[in-house]
Amino acid sequence: MQRNDTHDDVLDKIRALYLELGAHDGFGELRVEIRLLRRGQKEIILHCGKQYRYVVDFEPNQAA
């Protein structure tokens, strides 16, 4: 069963990862990948050592 993620979930995780990388004493990388899915959804994958995957609802041409 798939949970319903929100854009706020994604933004909260990006913020947490950004702060974690900033506090890290060394090199870090954060990459965001967005894929279009069917049924009005997008998959957002955050790469930061691990991958954090979210599926969010969207409407085309909708600004967040």
User: Over the stretch 7-60, which tens digit does the pLDDT of each residue have?
Assistant: 999 999 999 999 998 888 878 899 999 999 988 899 999 999 877 888 888 877
∠ CA 9-14-19, rounded to 5°: 130
The pairs formed by 24-30 with CB atoms below 8 angstroms and a separation of 24 or more are none
Rounded-to-integer distance, Cα 45 and Cα 37, Å? 13
Q: Which residue segment(s) compose the domain that 26 sits in?
A: 7-57
Answer yes or no: is 63 within a domain: no
Residue 31, in any domain of the structure: yes
Flag whether 2 is in a domain: no
- Taking only Cα atoms into account, the Rg of the chain, rounded to an integer number of angstroms, comes to 13
| pTM of the entire predicted model | 0.75
Do the domain assignments include residue 15?
yes
Q: Which of 22, 18, 19 is nearest to 30 (CA)?
A: 18
> Is 16 a member of any domain?
yes
Q: Is 10 exposed, middle or buried (0-12, 13-18, 19+ CB in 10 A)?
A: buried
Number of compact structural domains in the chain: 1
Domain membership flag for residue 1: no
